[in-house]
Amino acid sequence: MATGAIARPAHEAKEYTGLLAWLLTTDHKKIGIMYLIFTIIFFFTGGVLALLVRLQLAWSDAGILSQDQYNQFFTMHASTMLFLFVIPVGAGFANYLLPLMIGAKDMAYPRINALSLWLIPLAALVMFSSFFIEGGSAAAGWTEYPPLTNGTFMPGKGTDLWILGVQILGISSVGGAINFLVTTMTMRAPGMTLARMPIFVWMIVVTSVLVTFATPVLAGVLTMLFTDRNVGTSFFDPREGGNPILWQQLFWFYSHPAVYIMVLPAMGIISEVLPVFSRKPLFGYKAVIYAGAAIGVLGFTVWMHHMFATGLSAPLTIWTMFATMSIGVPTGVKMFNWLGTMWGGSISLKAPMLFAVGFLFMFLIGGIDGVYSAFVPVDYALNDTYWVVSHIHYVLFGGSVFGIFAGIFYWFPKMTGKFLNETLGKLQFWLMLIGMNLTFMPMHILGLKGMPRRIADYEAGLGWEYWNLVATIGAFTIGVSMMVFIANFFMSLKTAPKTAGDDPWEGNTLEWMISSPPPEQNFDTLPEINSERPAWDARMQRQGFAGRTQQHS
């Protein structure tokens, strides 16, 4: 339950200055900012690998990468984007915002929070060091399916370093998740009941539950693979009584909930941005919470849809197909709530709102893809083709990445006191939107034309060249949009005046009631909290409209 007193920050006993103040900090705000910086660096690293992969596939017999280089690059691209960017970037926003949103002065376990942060660059160092050893990095895809990953086919140590790196990231994730849950349950300000928590906080709670229960399964199956490769066990070797399908069962038991671990924080961000720029309360506040919880629960029931082609029994196949389709129901509820929030609102198309609306449309395409793929005959036809690549990118790039940029543009003024340049932000949005659809929509067509994923070359005359070239042009368009963001970020940080003020967007949640950037202790005093929109309530009270409510059209 919430405590009556504001938690005292457990910052360093000795005061540090300069770089040491950041490296040795336990302040959740500095830790959150460093999470975001690290993950954006990894995002760009994974993006460079993606551009090299797309260059190799732009035309047949390109010869830019060797087969081994191609396998290593697409494996490390996916591993970087998933494990080093999309999953921890949500923790970055949560570190900075969750204590502010619930009225706490810090996280429940500040030192564990700092440890969770520094494990991430350590894991990246371990994973990327494999490029410099004999045999190179992991090269079997981010799924690392046996028997391809046994010592016969992958004799180098790159796969072992990949396993170690992902294990370290799992420790970081679980430590962060437990911290978020304990902080939310024990350190809320007086009046901040569960029914008044911001939607972003709720989505972090659901995400943290998923991380806590799913990640240990990944840790177990990775340990099994490591011992198969190095100790002589045979969990996945059919020659010695093992079963490679066991890997898929356990790996996907983690990895399908991981999709929602990647998406739910972005859904929380969207649920904060849309009401503010629509000048309306969130439509169906409780329905959005229940839908998020339902997605979390159903996420543990659908992992076997990745295994339709492995010969599942008919009852399991039918159950999994219907369970997979059912997860579209709470997702659809959220979409309805978001559209209902905008309906009849006074919409302001600032950069955060543009990215939020982009999320809605791109995630919708990915969701429709997913419903089609849930049908067993469709899955048999399209399994391991570029259709699957397109689907997951519409969900994770069109969903998560657009949501992440909505959050960056929305909370950058709170973190720095400055605005990101609006014109450059809109330019970045349109380049991203165009580039994304140029990249991933042709992959639908390539999948329907039968192009398998994870091939480094293809013959001319199969009808694949044109669409691969279009996809490569789109990928470089996305790259240009990222250069616009980097220019915007550094220009704004260096030259923009501190004109944002405390509440530039007229937000709804507690962080907009303190200075920008927030003070070290976060809050000296807290306002009375009577609803899920305490900042709006306080603003109405100052303006003489106490008790006024906004109605939905």
* pLDDT tops 80 at residue 5: no
For 181-236, how does the pLDDT look when each residue is reduced to its tens digit (9 = 90+)?
999 999 999 999 999 999 999 999 999 999 999 999 999 999 999 999 999 899 99
Which ranges of 451-523 does DSSP label H, i.e. alpha helix? 465-495
Instruction: List, in order, residues 6 or more apart from 167 with CB less than 8 Å away.
Output: 219, 222, 223
Cα–Cα distances in angstroms (integers) from residue 508 to residues 99, 199, 200, 364, 513, in the given order:
15, 11, 12, 26, 9
Strand, coil or helix: 385 = strand
Element (H, E) at 282: none
- Looking at every residue in the chain, the average pLDDT score rounds to 93
- Residue 373's alpha-carbon distances to 1, 115, 451, in angstroms, are 42, 39, 16
CB atoms within 10 A of CB 407: 28
Q: Return the number of other C-beta atoms located less than 10 Å from residue 259's C-beta.
A: 22
| pLDDT above 50: residue 301 | yes
Residue 395 to residue 145: CA distance in whole angstroms: 23
pLDDT at 16 over 70: yes
* pLDDT confidence bin for 311, thresholds 50/70/90: confident
pLDDT band for position 525 (cuts 50, 70, 90): confident
Nearest to 80 by CA among 119, 114, 36, 49: 49
Domain range summary for the chain, segments of one domain joined by +: 22-542
pLDDT-derived band at 524 (thresholds 50, 70, 90) equals confident
CA-to-CA distance for 66 and 183, rounded, in angstroms?
Answer: 49
First CA to last CA across the chain, in angstroms? 35
Provide mean pLDDT across the span 258-274: 97
pLDDT at residue 546, as a whole number: 56
d(CA 156, CA 167): 19
- pLDDT value for 1: 40
Q: What does each C-alpha distance from 118 to 7, 28, 32 come to in angstroms? A: 24, 13, 12
- Per-residue pLDDT band for 3 (boundaries 50, 70, 90) equals very low
Tens of pLDDT, residues 454-489? 999 999 999 999 999 999 999 999 999 999 999 999
Exposure string for 518-538, b = 16+ CB within 10 A, e = fewer: beeebbeebbebeebbbbbbb
Does residue 259 contact residue 363 with C-beta atoms inside 8 Å? no
pTM of the model: 0.94
* Residue pair 196/101 in contact by the 8 Å Cβ criterion: no
* Per-residue confidence (pLDDT) for residue 167, from 0 to 100: 98
**Residue that wins the pLDDT comparison between 353 and 135:** 353
Classify domain 22-542 at the CATH topology level: Cytochrome C Oxidase; Chain A (1.20.210)
pLDDT at residue 78 in the model: 97
* pLDDT surpasses 50 at 417: yes
Sign of the CA dihedral with 224 first, then 228, 232, and 235 last: positive
CA distance 176 to 117: 9
Beta carbons within 10 angstroms of residue 246's beta carbon: 14
**223-241 tens-digit pLDDT:** 999 999 999 899 999 888 8
* Mean pLDDT to the nearest integer, 506-521: 94
Average pLDDT rounded to a whole number, residues 113-124? 98
